Amino acid sequence: MSEQRFIYDLSDGDATMRNLLGGKGAGVAEMARVGVPVPDAFTVTTTACVAAMENNGTWPDGLKEQIKEGLVRLEERTGKKLGASQNPLLVSVRSGAVHSMPGMMDTILNLGMSDDSARAMAEETGNARFAWDCYRRFIQMYGEVVEGVPGHAYEDALAQMKSDRGVEQDTDLDADDLKELVATFKEISSEHLGGDWTNDPREQLDRAIDAVFRSWGNPRAEVYRRANNISAKLGTAVNIMQMVFGNGGDTSGTGVCFTRNPSTGEKALYGEFLVNAQGEDVVAGIRTPRPLEEMEEILPEAYHQLVDTMHKMEDHYKDMQDMEFTIENGKLFLLQTRNGKRTAAAALKVASDLVDEGVLDKHQALLRVEPSQLDQLLHPAIDPKHGRRSIAKGLPASPGAAVGEVVFDADTAAERGAKGEPVVLVRFETTPDDIHGIIVAQGILTAHGGMTSHAAVVARGMGKPCVAGAQGIRIDPKGKTLTIGDHVFKEGDTITLDGTTGNVYGEALELVPPQINADFRRMVAWADEVRALGVRANADNFEDATKARELGAEGIGLCRTEHMFMAADRLPAVRKMILADSPEERAAALEEILPMQQSDFEGVFTAMKGLPVTVRLLDPPLHEFLPDLTEQSLKVQKLELEGGDAQELGAARATLAQVRRLHELNPMLGTRGCRLAMLYPEIPEMQTRAIVRAALAVLEREGETAEIEIMIPLVALTEELKVQRGIVEKTMADELKTSGKTLDVTIGTMIELPRAALLADQIAEYADFFSFGTNDLTQTTIGISRDDAENGFLTNYVVDHVLERNPFESIDVEGVGQLVRMGVERGRSRKPKLKTGVCGEHGGDPDSIEFFHSVGLNYVSCSPFRVPIARFAAARAVLNERRN
Amino acid sequence: MSEQRFIYDLSDGDATMRNLLGGKGAGVAEMARVGVPVPDAFTVTTTACVAAMENNGTWPDGLKEQIKEGLVRLEERTGKKLGASQNPLLVSVRSGAVHSMPGMMDTILNLGMSDDSARAMAEETGNARFAWDCYRRFIQMYGEVVEGVPGHAYEDALAQMKSDRGVEQDTDLDADDLKELVATFKEISSEHLGGDWTNDPREQLDRAIDAVFRSWGNPRAEVYRRANNISAKLGTAVNIMQMVFGNGGDTSGTGVCFTRNPSTGEKALYGEFLVNAQGEDVVAGIRTPRPLEEMEEILPEAYHQLVDTMHKMEDHYKDMQDMEFTIENGKLFLLQTRNGKRTAAAALKVASDLVDEGVLDKHQALLRVEPSQLDQLLHPAIDPKHGRRSIAKGLPASPGAAVGEVVFDADTAAERGAKGEPVVLVRFETTPDDIHGIIVAQGILTAHGGMTSHAAVVARGMGKPCVAGAQGIRIDPKGKTLTIGDHVFKEGDTITLDGTTGNVYGEALELVPPQINADFRRMVAWADEVRALGVRANADNFEDATKARELGAEGIGLCRTEHMFMAADRLPAVRKMILADSPEERAAALEEILPMQQSDFEGVFTAMKGLPVTVRLLDPPLHEFLPDLTEQSLKVQKLELEGGDAQELGAARATLAQVRRLHELNPMLGTRGCRLAMLYPEIPEMQTRAIVRAALAVLEREGETAEIEIMIPLVALTEELKVQRGIVEKTMADELKTSGKTLDVTIGTMIELPRAALLADQIAEYADFFSFGTNDLTQTTIGISRDDAENGFLTNYVVDHVLERNPFESIDVEGVGQLVRMGVERGRSRKPKLKTGVCGEHGGDPDSIEFFHSVGLNYVSCSPFRVPIARFAAARAVLNERRN
């Protein structure tokens, strides 16, 4: 068996080899292939990284030798030699995953620097300061990343040097100073390593590659992958590229550019650059860069070459590109190109424009928009009528509005965010170490950094509002204050951010629901032409149903009736019903609730007239309408011990007795759904009556009503559905007879227990439709209580990769999915035209929608604001199916 | 299409037609077929009853006409005519279900009586008193059963008549008195009906048949069916039989007899009779009957004919027979024969003896013993060393001992029994209306009635101790006292019954575990020759394991480890473990628990040396080892309000904080099983260490140890098992390395969640064996929390036939069973020789065992005392499979 190949030279790769070479490696190779100037390079494959991970970090056989050979070839091609005292080769060692994970893994620049190389470079470039600066940067970066030396040790030494010299800026240090600093840095490294610092660039290369491999598993990369649903099993490629220098003087520079505006999607070059700087300076947001347009004046030749290259690459990839470049003494090098990260609005505009430009057809355009990303468009904005003055303005780095309490560090943000408290993370600048705080924050405000700074890129990816580089704000993270003009905000004070405009407000402003723009409407219409799945919404009142219809819902897939019981003004009647001693008393209490239910139903049926509405009969256990057992026990004890009012005590004790009687150890598996209706048939009778009366009232008033589907929840046994169907049918017949009207109503059931899926053929006998309740089905199939698990072991499971995704967010296809498939197949084996849908929260998750399409459901139902996402995702499901 | 046939004449039936004609109808026809004297008759089929039930009581087409034709044929054969004024035909109308349900449904005797018939009968028999007595009995029975007239109305009139005449006994009333009573009874009926009492025997026959149909659904029949696992869908046949009279004088009589002793199984005629009485008098236990042997003197001819017939029928059916007979003026008629109900001890002895007699082979004999009935043999007896004197003695009507508090009515028994309180039901005599009290009582004591009285028959069927017809006890049900000699017992006082000897003790005596007798041992040995399934027991200490081995367990299928944590002296260490702040602290606390666990394991491994022991690692959630949330909250509040000791309050609050942290809304679906072990790998490490050390210690001490199987609970994800298996293997390797010994240990998992069954092929990759945890699998598949449901809706479901059986008692074959089958098949698709077993409580249920055999499990595991039952049931599974 021949040895596996782990090394690809620049000329061996192309864009199709992304899985093997990572996005960066494949992108650079493709650029070289089509004649774009890139530094020479070779790539260590992702398979090498995976092999090492699987073997506890031990490299696979042959890797070390192949790297050595790859280096020799690179040296031959460039005519330079790593660590040489003449014409030395310097390389960057960079991660490059299959899916872009900006800033999450490690990079080592200037590898190859040694005493000899530094001297040679000083001589060759005539710029000794530059050479020693590169060297000290290398020692610091290598020490931190590879050897784990604490960064502050180097920073302290640098600060000491500046203080000794009485200067303020790094740039005020001269070549000798930096040479001395190199010696100091070496000592720091040696001290930490407990041995001498020795320059062996060949050895350092291997160790740098290994460090990049290991950085795949660092905590911030894990957090990022989880937030972006990237598998932990992919591994990263490592790119070894000849260094080019943007920091060699005023004819050098570095920058980042997009072929279109990544925030709005507008067709205009968009980017930032810094003269006399290395690439990391732009990305890290330490110096605020200049707009790309200004480069035309400063470096006109490189600018025009860059513009040409940008157009060329966009045409080549038929998608907006995000590129990194360096200009070395006036010569342009492209370091990376990739499909640019963009806001959802930009994604829609770019895809839509590319259709108009004749570059893509409609179906290709649909595949360019990630449905899950559209969520960010569906976030609220600040009410335009607010009339307040902003107190600061920054860059509109990620659109949307956020209201929250100021916090100054990621740990506090994570802690408070986990409790559901709305926080805005305020940082001088963010780093990858802040990721856990960013994930839970409502929004991000930074004082430094541009549109491509860490905070901006990450926030856009998450659809989270971000205002970056806000001028004139002062942050004291230790003292925990944010000062804007004469306002001083302490931790816990509330502010509002507008990531769409860059405005910051010193108070909580009202937010309004998002509006769907023209690009969105246009592309969703294309999606509707393609998709097979129907899309409905979950709603239980007029307002939500109306909103759902506006957003394109083709019906209500789940109209819950429990909220109709929960309203404060209804609880007394509901409790009377629960405390009833006889069916008659219960029926009397239900009579009080009936008109309220009816009026709610009228609202929904009016909003949805002409479309189907699935009404689920009462589902939660009765004790949900009573006080908590512990609370009530404490109340009684308190009254007892304090000798409270006798009447109050009596009432409290009576309530406690009821709470105890109805208390269940595992309410999720208790007396709820149709089990309740079996015990108290008065409840489904009342509900059916309210539904029929509401439908007749709407029909009379509006001339049309909704297509009503009555749904029996939590059926495990065929007999339950048979009995409940009988109750609904009989009540309906009675009501219609009384009214003398007719009404078409279908009766179906939820499939939300494993047994129901297993016996779907029997159950279909009594069901006009099935609606899969995948939340409950997930709970019972995996044996996980959602409420408990998401605050407990489930989170650990996702962190530890016991599970790749939270099964309540995206359906567990291989487990729960089997039962859904079985339910559909068995149900249809009895009733070939059985209508099937899903009404769990998975109905709004794009990956789950793809699965539901594959098993042949008729529709999905989700929250109103996810309807457009579901329409998109349903179309993609069809297109992906065709591709496969 | 020709009309369905609903009527079979006596000569049309035989023993094979039991499903159609019911046990009684088929038995009588068979007797007629083989020449035994039976009264002429015809039978309305069970299918007629089922058709009527399914159509809300409306009779199927043709039934009415067919009954009319059947009656005409009966009249022709007997030469008598229903309702005629000369030579009138009288018939009984009796229920007759497929499975015997003694006394549970309705019967009408003497149908055909009318003014004309009474006069004719008086003339023909020369016994006017007898004729009018029959007539008044008929009016009363028909009124009560068919018309729903309250029985006391007739009883009151009879009492009034006796009082008017100044007599004590019914028999002291003469013909004229009875004639007058007939008139009074007619008035009572008319008054109740709001119309005139009219004699139309033809019409009355139809209505009587309908009443018997309806009695299939009466509450006591339902209760009986549930207790005996008889399907509600079978319906009853109705037998219309010419009346013969045992109450016509001293050459007449009636009785009940068994071919062998139904209590012990001894081969000796056994029965009771009454001279000059109707059959109901014997069964109802109102007059205490005479032993059958005495009949030889009184009615020698009939006696010898009866004895011959008994032998003949036993030979015919090859089983012990239970027969009813009537002697009319010296002539013997058999009214019914059926396989006799018997105690488990009798069942074993009869079957065993029949093999010795050459009537049955061993396999046939095994099929004569109902495994579920053997449970009664496994009940405790009174400690023989008790040394107390009995205060009363009755008939040993149903064996076994019972200790409980005296209650005087079935409602109180049912209410207190449902709370788990041990009660003894004390009644003058029991009736079918007492069935709900009998079911929950520890035992039954009656003052009246014999070995075939209602209490005796029902108690024997249930394996419940019963002392019947206890002489010298006085019961005052209103005043709620039981007086025996000068002891007066009030409700709630404790007594002890010995149903094996008939003794009653006025205090609580110690009970001892049952002993397995020779017949049992012999037949269980036959079962072992036949069965394919292995039988193991669930035990977690030396004593239980030793007992299990004695009872034939071939290993331990489930050794739970949680009890090892629960013992009071261990809880401090366990709580320290739970409250630990770091893995190190936790490991230290676990070190304290380790030696205790090890010593428990040593006990089990010693008892089971040479046999397999499956140890399940810790399963329950940690909060089970802490106080209850509500209790602890109350404790803290009380200390706060009362200003208690500060240190105590601090400790209580700290505990409360822990309880809150670990509190779960649905603990059944929470952090338990391997989820706990994933969070705290220190726990499985400690447990593995304890297991290995125990095994090595036993090996050293005894020269042999158990075959150890370590079982990981609650696996839902393949990754969980992979990780846990890794922990166990690594710990085991470490321990063995330290000790320098070797040990064969297998590692497997429970399949107790639907997802695990669905993905059993993947999971099998990391499992040496599967053990189906059907309790949990039932909970999640059906979505039922056992603790909540059995005290709630599940009980109603069984009462209302939404479910035929409680799925926690007998496995839900069509739902949960699918997943078990899938688990076995998919597991073996990956590992063909995968060992599979079951350790839920279903492992001791005969029907479930039959299912487990059919899916090819290797073994079942159950509580030690059910091991012999499981061995029997496993053999029957094989024999039944061969028959089918």
Domains identified in chain A, total number: 4
Q: Which of A466, A839, A853, A862 is catalytic?
A: A839
DSSP state of B340: P
Give the distance from CA A573 to its chain's centroid: 43
Contacts of A755 in chain B (CB under 8 A): 781-783, 812, 815-816
Residue A622: closest CA among A656, A684, A664, A559: A664
> What is the mean pLDDT of the segment spanning B575-593?
87
Checking if the pLDDT of A325 tops 50, the result is yes
Within 13 Å, how many C-alpha atoms sit on residue B433's CB side? 5
Q: Is A88 helix (H, G, I), strand (E, B) or coil?
A: strand
SS3 B107: strand
Q: What is the pLDDT of residues A555-599, one digit of tens each?
A: 999 999 987 787 777 888 888 888 887 888 888 999 999 999 999
Task: Flag if A642 and B638 touch (Cβ within 8 Å).
Answer: no
State how far the Cα of A199 lies from the Cα of A203, in Å rounded to an integer. Answer: 9
Structure tokens at A197: 């610092």
Decide if A134 is inside a domain.
yes
Q: Please tell me whether B805 is known to bind a ligand.
A: no
- Quote the domain boundaries for residue B161: 7-242
Give backbone dihedrals phi and psi of B323, rounded to 5 degrees, phi first: -125, 150
Q: Which residue has the higher pLDDT, B484 or B756?
A: B756
Whether residue B861 is contained in a domain is answered as yes
Specify whether A729 is located in the same domain as A790: yes
Place of tokens 């009588």: B28
- For residues A545 and A491, membership in a common domain is answered with no
C-alpha R_g of chain B: 32
Mutate to test the interface with B, among A419, A775, A781, A816 (most CBs of B within 10 A): A781
Considering only the beta carbons, identify the residue of B720, B788, B793 that sits closest to A665: B788
- Residue-level pLDDT at A471: 76
Catalytic hit among A379, A454, A842, A853:
A454
Measured between alpha carbons, how far is A457 from A432 in angstroms, rounded to an integer? Answer: 11
CB B528: neighbour CB atoms within 10 A? Answer: 15
> Residue B322: which H helix or E strand, with range?
strand B321-328
> What CA–CA distance (Å, rounded) separates B817 from B814?
6
Task: Give the Cα separation of B498 and B466 in Å (integer).
Answer: 8
When mean pLDDT is compared across A197-211, B92-106, B440-454, the lowest value belongs to: B440-454
At A745 the three-state DSSP class reads strand
Q: What pLDDT does A420 receive?
A: 84
Distance CA B615, CA B604 (A): 10
Residue of B nearest to A676 (CA): B793
User: Could you tell me if A38 and A177 lie in one domain?
Assistant: yes
- Which residue type does A398 have? S
CATH number (domain holding residue A767): 3.20.20.60
Q: Is the pLDDT of residue A280 over 80?
A: no
Question: How many residues does this entry show for chain B?
Answer: 884
Q: Residues B136, B182: contact at Cβ < 8 Å? A: yes
Confidence of residue A285 (pLDDT cuts 50, 70, 90): low
In a domain, A548, yes or no: yes
Q: What is the pLDDT of residue B460?
A: 67
User: From the candidates B839, B842, B853, B862, which is the catalytic residue?
Assistant: B839
Q: What is the pLDDT of residue A284?
A: 55
| Mean pLDDT confidence for A695-710 | 96
**B465, B459 Cβ separation under 8 angstroms:** yes
Domain-embedded: residue A649: no
Gap between the Cα atoms of A438 and A461, Å rounded: 11
Closest CA to A304 of A332, A266, A276: A332
Contact between residue B216 and residue B49 where contact means Cβ atoms under 8 Å apart: yes
Query: What are A332's two structure tokens?
Result: 């342009």
pLDDT digits (tens, 9 = 90+) for A468-497: 888 778 888 888 999 998 889 999 999 999
pLDDT reported for residue B380: 75
A803–B755 C-beta distance less than 8 A: no
Shared-domain flag, residues A605 and A674: yes
Give the best residue of B54, B619, B630 to mutate against chain A (max A CB count within 10 A).
Answer: B630
Task: Flag if A678 and B758 touch (Cβ within 8 Å).
Answer: no
Do A716 and A597 sit in the same domain of this protein? yes
User: Rounded to an integer, what is the distance from CA B564 to the centroid of its chain?
Assistant: 33
User: Do B230 and B282 share a domain, yes or no?
Assistant: no
pLDDT score at A439: 84
**Ramachandran angles phi, psi of B36, nearest 5°:** -80, 140
Number of H helices, E strands in chain A: 35, 33
Residues B224 and B308 in one domain: no
- Residue B106 shares a structural domain with residue B50: yes
Which residue in the set B717, B802, B803 is minimally distant from A803, CB to CB?
A: B717
Q: Which residues contact A605 (CB under 8 A, 6 or more apart)?
A: A613, A694, A695, A698, A705, A706, A708
Please tell me the predicted confidence (pLDDT) of residue B19.
Answer: 94
pLDDT value, residue B1: 44
| Residues of chain B contacting residue A634, judged by C-beta atoms under 8 Å apart | 633-634, 637
- B805, with CB counted inside 10 A (0-12, 13-18, 19+), is middle
Q: Which of A242, A266, A293 is the last residue of a domain?
A: A242
In a domain, A358, yes or no: no
B454 part of the active site: yes
Q: How confident is the model at residue B285 (pLDDT cuts 50, 70, 90)?
A: low
Locate the chain B residue with the closest alpha carbon to A716. Answer: B782
What Å distances lie between residue B718 and A51, A255, B495, CA to CA? 22, 47, 56
Spatial distance between the Cα atoms of B63 and B134, rounded to a whole number of angstroms: 29
- The whole-number pLDDT of residue A618 equals 94
A126 and A57 assigned to the same domain: yes
What ipTM, to 2 d.p.? Answer: 0.78
Integer Cα distance of B639 and B652 in angstroms: 9
Identify the burial level of B420 via C-beta atoms within 10 angstroms of its C-beta, where 0-12 means exposed, 13-18 middle and 19 or more buried: exposed
* Inter-chain touch A802–B678, beta carbons under 8 Å: yes
For residue B782, the chain A residues in CB contact (below 8 A) are 716-717, 753-755
State what percent of residues in chain B have pLDDT above 90. Answer: 61
C-alpha–C-alpha distance, residues B198 and A633, integer Å: 65
Q: Domain end: B218, B242, B266, which one?
A: B242
Using N-to-C axis directions, what is the helix angle for A128-142 and A115-125, rounded to 10°? 150
Contact A772, A857 (CB under 8 A): yes
- Residue pair B439/B227 in contact (Cβ under 8 Å)? The answer is yes
**Under 8 Å CB-to-CB from B537, ≥6 apart: which residues?**
B544, B545, B548, B551, B553, B555, B556, B557, B861, B862, B863, B864, B867
In a domain, B868, yes or no: yes
**Is B774 labelled as part of a ligand binding site?**
yes
Does the distance separating the beta carbons of A637 and B634 come in below 8 Å? yes
Among B281, B309, B339, the domain-final residue is: B339
What is the separation, in whole angstroms, between the first and last Cα of chain B? 32
Choose between A279 and B428: higher pLDDT.
Answer: B428
Among B781, B786, B799, B808, the residue to mutate for chain A (most A Cβ within 10 A): B781
Q: Which residues of B touch A638 (CB under 8 A)?
A: 637, 641
Give the per-residue pLDDT at A571.
Answer: 81
Does A752 show up as a binding residue in the annotation?
yes
Q: Whole-angstrom Cα distance, residue A671 to residue B783? A: 10
**Residue predicted with more confidence, B377 or B12:** B12
Q: Choosing among A780, A803, A812, which should be mutated to test the B contact, i.e. which has the most B CBs within 10 A?
A: A780
Supply the CATH number for residue A295's domain. 3.30.470.20
Task: Identify all chain A residues contacting B752, using CB atoms and an 8 Å cutoff.
Answer: 783
Closest-CA distance of chain B to residue A663, Å: 9
Q: Which residue has the tokens 């400790």?
A: B651
Gap between the Cα atoms of B866 and A313, Å rounded: 77
Told to judge if B311 belongs to the known catalytic residues of this protein, a careful annotator would answer no
Q: Which residue of B has its CA nearest to A792?
A: B671
pLDDT given at position B828: 98
Query: Whole-angstrom Cα distance, residue B290 to residue B299?
Result: 13
pLDDT value at residue B678: 94
Alpha-carbon radius of gyration of chain A? 32
**pLDDT at position A278:** 77
Mean pLDDT (whole number) for B604-617: 97
CA pair distance B837, B557, nearest whole angstrom = 8
Mean pLDDT value across residues B349-370:
94
Same domain, B669 and B564: yes
What pLDDT, on a 0 to 100 scale, did the predictor assign at position B648? 92
CB half-sphere exposure, A297, CA atoms < 13 A: 4
The SS3 of residue B437 is: helix
CA distance linking residue A291 with residue B114, whole number of Å: 116
Q: What is the pLDDT, as a whole number, of residue A792?
A: 67
How many residues comprise chain A? 884
CATH number at residue A408: 3.50.30.10
Contact B782 A641 (CB under 8 A): no
Domain assignment present for A463: yes
- Cite the beta strand spans of A773-874 per DSSP E: 835-838, 859-862
**B369 domain-assigned:** no
Residues A566 and A499 in one domain: no
Nearest to B235 by CA among B249, B216, B254: B216
Q: For residues B534-553, give the mean pLDDT.
A: 93
pLDDT tens, position by position, B421-474: 999 999 988 876 787 888 889 999 998 877 667 787 677 656 689 998 887 788
Catalytic residue, chosen from B363, B436, B454, B842, is: B454
> Hey, are the CB atoms on A754 and B819 less than 8 Å from each other?
yes
Phi, psi at residue B338, to the nearest 5°?
A: -155, 160
> Are A753 and B783 inside 8 Å of each other by CB?
yes
A535, A514, A529: which is closest to A868 by C-alpha?
A: A535
Same domain, B506 and B609: no
Contacts of residue B802 in chain A, CB cutoff 8 Å? 678, 717, 719-720, 723
